[in-house]
Amino acid sequence: MPDHFQRADQVLDLGGQASASGSLQKVYPYPGREDLLIKVVRPNFVAERWTGLRGAIKRLRRLGALTGASRVIMEHLALRNAGVKPGRHVQEFVGLVETTQGVGVVVRAVRGRDGRYAETLRTIVKEGRFGPDIEAMLDEFEAWLLSTPIIVGDLHMGNVVLGFDGEHGERLVLIDGMGEKNFVPLNTWFPVLNRANTRDRIRRMRRIVNAKRAAASPR
Ligand SMILES: Nc1ncnc2c1ncn2[C@@H]1O[C@H](COP(=O)(O)OP(=O)(O)OP(=O)(O)O)[C@@H](O)[C@H]1O
Ligand SMILES: [Mg+2]
C-alpha cells in the first residue's frame, strides 16, 4: 500500500528555487510531483508586514503567520461539507507537509493550455488578452462562487488564474485570498452577507480589470 504520510523524522527539503512568489508566500514545485505545489509563508513576512499598531494586533493571533493556511483548510472543508469537489473554480487543497521552510500547504498546480503554470488575470489583462471569452469565464466564475459557501476575503487579479485541464476545460480558478478576514465573522454566520460580499469583490475587480484594459495595449 502506498505510504501517504510523512514519518516523524521526515522533513521535505525545499532547497530549490521557488517557482512563484507572492507578497505573503513562496510557491515551490513539490519535488517529484509535477501536479502539486507547496506554499510556505515567507520567513520574514511577520517582521516586514505586521508592523505598527495593526501589526501588533495581528501578532497576537493564535495561529500567527499560519492564519492564511488555516483559511485555505477551512474553505476546503466548507466546500466538501456542501458536497462540492474543489478544482473547478477554486484551487484544490491537498494537504499539509513539514518542510525545511516550515509548514507547507500542498495544493494542486493549475496549468494553462500550454502546460505551463497558469497565468494570472493580471498578466492577461496587462498583455491586452482579456477579451469577451475571458469576460464570459468571469461571469461563470462569479456564478459558481455564489452557488457555494466559499468566502472570498481578498480578491485581486493576481489571485485568479486561467487554467485548463481535461476534466474542466478552460476556466478561471481562485488560487489565493479565500477565507473570512473580518474580525466579526459575518460572512461565516450569514450566507446572504457572504454572497453580497462576493458580488461586491467581483464588481470591484471588474472595475479594475476594465480600467487596466483601457490602458493595456493589445498584442
Ligand atoms: N494552484 C496554483 N497553480 C498555479 N499557480 C499558482 C497556484 N497558486 C499560486 N500560484 C502562482 O503563485 C503566485 C503566488 O501565489 P499566491 O497568490 O498563493 O501567494 P501570495 O503570496 O499569498 O500572494 P499575495 O501577493 O496575493 O499575497 C500566484 O500569483 C500564481 O502565479
Ligand atoms: Mg496571492
Supply the DSSP string of 194-219, one letter for each residue.
Answer: HHHHHHHHHHHHHHHHHHHHHHSPP-
Kindly give the number of the ligand 1 atom that is closest to the alpha carbon of 22: 21
Written as nine digits, the cell of 58 is 495581528
Closest C-alpha to 118, from 178, 170, 177, 40? 170
pLDDT digits (tens, 9 = 90+) for 48-61: 999 999 999 999 99
Probe residue for ligand 1, chosen from 176, 178, 205 as the CB with the greatest number of ligand atoms within 8 Å? 176
pLDDT at 207 over 80: yes
CA distance 160 to 93: 15
Q: Please state the rounded mean pLDDT for residues 62-75.
A: 96
What's the confidence (pLDDT) of residue 1? 54
Q: Is the CB of 110 under 6 A from ligand 1?
A: yes
pLDDT at 14 over 70: yes
pLDDT averaged over the chain? 94
Q: Is the CB of 159 under 6 A from ligand 1?
A: yes
Q: Is the CB of 20 under 6 A from ligand 1?
A: yes
Q: Model's pTM, two decimal places?
A: 0.94
More confident residue, 198 or 215: 198
Q: Is the CB of 118 under 6 A from ligand 1?
A: yes
pLDDT at 217 over 80: no
Q: Is the CB of 105 under 6 A from ligand 1?
A: no
